[in-house]
Structure formats: structure tokens, C-alpha cells
Amino acid sequence: MIRRLLLVLVSVCSMSAAADQPAVVAQAKALGNTAKTLRYAFPIAESGFDPAQISDLYSRTVAAAMFDAPLEFEFMASPARMRPNVAAAMPEVTDDFRSFTFQIKPGIFFADDPAFKGAKRELTADDFVYALKRHYDPRWKSANLYVLENAKILGLSELRKELIAAKKPFDYDRDVEGLKALDRYTFRIRLAEANPRFLYNFTDGSFTGAMAREVVEAYGDKVGEHPVGTGPFRLAEWKRSSRMVLERNPNYREVFYDEHPPQNNARLVEVAAKFKGRRMPLVDRVEISVVEEAQPRWLSFLNGEHDVLENVPAEFSNLAIPNNQLAPNLSKRGMGMIRYPRADVAVSYFAMEDPVVGGYEPHKVALRRAIALAVDLDREIRLVRRNQAIPGQSPIGPETFGYDPAFKSEMSEYNLPRAKALLDLHGYVAKNGDRWRDQPDGKPLVLEYATQPDQVSRQLIELWKKNMDALGVRMVFKTAKWPENLKSSRAGKLMMWGVGWSAGSPDGDTFLALGYGPNKGGANHARFNLPAFNSVYQAQRMLPDSPERLALMDEAKRLMVAYMPYKIHAHRIFTDLNQPWVQGYHRNIFVREFFKYVDLDAQAPGRAAR
């Protein structure tokens, strides 16, 4: 007991400045040997924890555990269903989906932090107003600003443009019609246009979570290293691109497990009944490692060092889930398996402003289509993704409105003769006596593809190389860490890059946003800007879910297929494994911080030493 406590205290002493040291030490003493610690790994490094600056899945997963949005998705509901989180009730929606009034529960407090100078800091409506305004502040370079600007909150975009033109700092105190705190616990948002699904944005604390102005002003540009929210966890330790430790927030309000699963799912019904009324979070601590290579992630799970394996690495799928069933040896050990389609899409984009692969002229469109036709997608899914994906026909992913499993397009077609004929027709032929094709003007045709140093990325670019060699197109690869590629991509410095895009809500708009012109530098990594597409995209956004909206979404999908700013590869199917001592494990693809809903049997045999 004494040795264990000393180890905890040593760990605490080395924690990041993100934590309030006295409070963390006191918490560690209180937890002692009884702390329930959930351990698992990310395959990709995080970039930070400031909701106004982050857009990647892994940073947002951690941030969602610390920051509260007004609403949340029910963890076990199917189909997806929203409910109040820190809101006292569902917002009042009026003026034909143009006005949204939120009432916040009183008596909710931020985690302790030196920025509050020893006082307990209550959550107020002003904290949500301030947090939303931060996305409009050019200082933070919000990658999610496009979501709010597309919603056309009255006055905010105009204020941003005015201050940029005047070269003045963003004025947080300027009153705007579209975003106001009406009293201490009430704020209202007004839009210029109807937006029937606007509330989806307020289910994700990693995007619209409340922030205290004192914290941002105290830490300045380092605020992403000092996340302070009202959520169930606080950041206790952070070693960038290596390890994140979350610990229970002592100031977290009373929240009790109360889930309502589909009655035809006996396992979830049993879990919901067993956990009902228990105070959350159910674990005290979450330790997340960054392990980019698949083999050590797999072995750490097999050895009981990790409690959960998110998405069995493709290289080990035949060992873990032969024929998509849990392997007998793992089943005998009592492990659990959950298999589910992701609301996501894996793509390779073409930078539309690049002089080689970009442009809207017929020969540039033909080049991109030829490259896409030369990608052997069936081989990619079989050999690299180990059949843990389905071919992508459009950008819209499964489990969202707008996804049509019957929709077929050129995206999944592998046709090397047709690809060669397209290039021949438009003048992409070898002009220097060698086997490599040149551009129509005689300049060398060389594709540059950004990639990462992990095994799956290496396998994917090997396949790219074989495919392009067969097409007679030279291709080179630039390797960097994922956060570095993300930064370069936002700045428009990459010619091609392969990424995944996940939906945070059950709607296909988030995928069509990849092609919307004003989203350049945000969701639109390809920097695609086609007036016809922009018009259709805007029109579908304003409609309620209906056959009319589906028809517009189909038109938008066809335009993206025709102009090919993105080569759509696949929609991934995830299979998670959990150790027998993990209780209540479930995945809702629209709930990032699943770990607040799971429990651990601390006395179970086979657990690695904690």
C-alpha cells in the first residue's frame, strides 16, 4: 500500500503544468490503491486540447472528456437521440429553425485551476458565448470555423471581417445580434437562414464546449496545454505524442447512469439495468498511450496491459477475428468483441489549387479520374485493410442521413485500360523516350503523396506505387508525422494526402462539407470550389430531412465523383476488443468519450499490475 502510494505521488510530481498540482496530489492520496484505471492506446498522436484549435479525432476524443457541451447523444440509443447535458432542458427552437435558446443548469463548476485564484468558478451562459466567439478569432485559426460560418450566426462573420480588415484584435465584448447571453444561465443563437440540424453542433464538448475566459487569458497561446472544463475528467499528465492521463474531476456534478438501449439488445439491456443509478464517471483514471505501430498495440492488449483495443489492427484481424468472429482462444479468455460500421470515409485528396493535379479544365479532370481508376481498391481492401472496410461510392459514410448503400459510382471501379486511354486522349503521354508519362505541355508528371511512418501507411503507399507504375505515372512520397501533415494540409502545401473523415453526428452534411468552397482550410482539404456544387450544398442544408433533401445530396455526390477532388477509398468497419474485466463496454460512434460509461472489475484475475 505504501509503495503504491509513493509511486502515485512520484507520478504526480512529474505531471504537466496543465494540472493544479496541490489538487492532483490530494486526489492521488485519496484514490490510493483503490483507483480504477482504464488503459488503452491511440494509433495517431494528438495535437492539443483547445476546442477552438483542434479538429483531429484523437485530440477531440480527449477534449470531449474535459469540456461540456449543452447537449449530448444518448450512449445506448439507436437510432441516435439527443438529450440535455449541462442544459436544463432541450433548447427552445423557434422562427423556423433560426432561433435557439439554451437554458444552462445552475450549480455546475469548472475544475480547479490557478487561473481562478482559489475561487470556485461556476459555469454560466457567458462561457458558451465566449467559447463560440473564440472560433471567429483569427488568433486561434479554428479549423471548425467553417461549421459556424456556414450556419450564418447573425453578425459574427461580419465582425470577424471588419476587425481583420482594420487589423484589430477580435472584440469579445462587442454585442452581436446572433449570439447573446440573456441572463446568467440563458443564451440565444440566431441564424440568418433555417438550419434544421443546427443543434447537432452542441452535442460535442470538443467543439462547442464551454470555456472560462480567465483560463484563456491566463495561458494565452499555451491554452491548448491547459484544458480546464466542467467535464468528468481533468488532464493530470501529458507527454506530447506519447501519453495522456485523465483523472476524475473532483468538481464534477452529480450525474447518474441512466441509459435506454433498444429492447432487442439483451446485452445492453442487462448493462443498463446493472449500472442504472451509479454515479459517473465509473472509472477514476484513464491512461492513453500513443502507439503508432500495430504490433505493440496488439501485444499490449494480449498481455493485459491495455483494457481495450480500439479497432483491431488490420494486420492481426485474421488472428483476432477470423471470418469476423472472435477467435476461440480469445473467447476462452473471456474477451469481448464489438463490431460496427464507422460513420467515416477514407479518402485521398487532390489539391485543386496545385498546378499539376488541380484545376477544372477537362484534361485536369481526366488526370484525376484516370489516377482514381488505376487504384486497385479491391486489392487495397483485401490485403491492406484485411476486409475490414467496404468500397466507397461517395463521400457520405454509413450511419448518417444521405448514405445510400445502393448508390454506385465510378469511385469503386478499377479499370487500368480505361485509365490509360483517358491519359492518352488528353495528352498525358511519354514525350522523352522513357516509360513515364509527361504533362500535355511536356513538363514531367510527378505525383507527390504525403504519408506517415506507420505500417498501414507504408502498405498503402506501396500499393499506390504499384498502381501508378502500371499507369506509367511517377509518384514520390513525403513522410512526416500526422500532426505535421495536418498542419501542412490546412495551409494548402500538400499535393495529395490520404486521410479519414468521421462524422460527429448522424448526418451526411459533414461529408459533403469536404467539397464546399468556403470550407477551404477547414474540412475542405482539397480546396475544391465549384459554384454548381456550392449551390447544391447550400440548398440541401436548409431543408429538413426529406426526399427533396436526399435528391440534392445525391446531386452533390455525383458532382464530387465527376470532378474527383477526392478519390474515395472505403468506409471502415471497426472491431473493438475488451478484456473480461471491462464492464459495460459499448460504442456509440457519435459519443467520443466512451470511457466515462465503462467500469472495471479491479479484482478480476489476469489483469496486469496497475
Which residues, listed in sequence order, are joined to residue 103 by a DSSP beta bridge?
A: 186
Q: Would the CA dihedral through 79, 85, 87, 88 be positive or negative?
A: positive
* Residue closest to 108 by CA, chosen among 123, 118, 120: 123
Q: Are 307 and 285 in contact (CB under 8 A)?
A: no
Rounded Cα distance between 171 and 53, Å, is 18
Q: Spell out where 264-386 has E strands.
A: 285-290, 308-309, 336-341, 344-350
C-alpha grid cell for residue 360? 477544372
Number of residues written out for the chain: 610
pLDDT of residue 9: 31
> If residue 244 lies in a helix (H) or strand (E), which one and from where to where?
strand 243-248
How many whole angstroms from its chain centre is CA 20?
A: 28
Note the pTM of the prediction, 2 decimals.
0.84
- The torsion angles phi and psi of 106, rounded to 5 degrees, stand at -75, 165
Predicted local confidence at residue 432, as pLDDT = 84
Helix (H/G/I), strand (E/B), else coil: 261? coil
pLDDT at residue number 10: 31
pLDDT value for 1: 35
pLDDT the model gives residue 155: 98
Task: Check residue 608 and give its pLDDT.
Answer: 54
What DSSP letter does each residue of 263-292 carry, written as one string? TT-HHHHHHHHHHTT-BS-SSSEEEEEE--
Answer CATH for 2-248 from 3.40.50.1400, 3.40.190.10, 3.40.50.20, 3.40.980.10: 3.40.190.10
Check residue 604 and give its pLDDT.
76
- Integer CA distances (angstroms), 51 to 142, 144, 327, 492, in order: 8, 9, 40, 22
Find all residues with CB under 8 Å of 118, minimum gap 6, and list them.
none
Cα 454 → chain centroid: 19
Place of cell 484584435: 169
* Nearest C-alpha neighbor of 414 from the set 385, 437, 381, 387: 381
Cα 16 versus chain centre, distance:
24
Across the strands, what pairs with 93? Answer: 100
Domain ranges in the chain? 2-248, 344-572
> What pLDDT shows up at residue 30?
45
Ranges under pLDDT 70 in the chain: 1-34, 606-610
Reference 287, options 583, 60, 40; nearest CA is 40
Q: Which three cell numbers stand for residue 409?
A: 459510382
Segments of 471-609 assigned E as strands = 474-479, 496-502, 566-578, 582-583, 599-600
Contact 452, 481 (CB under 8 A): yes
The cell numbers describing 188, all together, are: 440565444
Q: How far apart are CA 515 and CA 538, in angstroms?
A: 11
Q: Could you count the other beta carbons within 10 Å of the beta carbon of residue 332?
A: 9
510: enclosing H helix or E strand? helix 509-512
- Cell numbers found for residue 549: 433533401
List beta partners, residue 40. Answer: 288
Q: Is 93 exposed, middle or buried (0-12, 13-18, 19+ CB in 10 A)?
A: middle
Other Cβ atoms less than 10 A from the Cβ of 435: the count is 9
Cell of 3: 509503495
Contact 590, 197 (CB under 8 A): no
SS3 content of the chain, % helix, strand, coil (to 5): 35, 20, 45
Q: How far apart are CA 321 and CA 495, in angstroms?
A: 37
Angle value at C-alpha 547, between 545 and 549, nearest 5 degrees: 55
| CA dihedral over 30, 33, 38, 39, signed as positive or negative | positive
Rounded Cα distance between 89 and 259, Å, is 17
pLDDT at 19 (0 to 100): 42
pLDDT of residue 607: 65
Q: What was the pLDDT predicted at 149? A: 94
User: What is the number of other CB atoms lying within 10 angstroms of the CB of residue 369?
Assistant: 22
Angle of helix 294-302 relative to helix 455-471, nearest 10 degrees? 140
Q: How far, in whole angstroms, is CA 507 from its chain's centroid? A: 14
C-alpha–C-alpha distance, residues 543 and 556, integer Å: 14
Cα–Cα distance measured from residue 569 to residue 392, given in angstroms and rounded to the nearest whole number: 5
Q: What is the DSSP letter of 383?
A: I
- Domain 344-572, CATH: 3.10.105.10
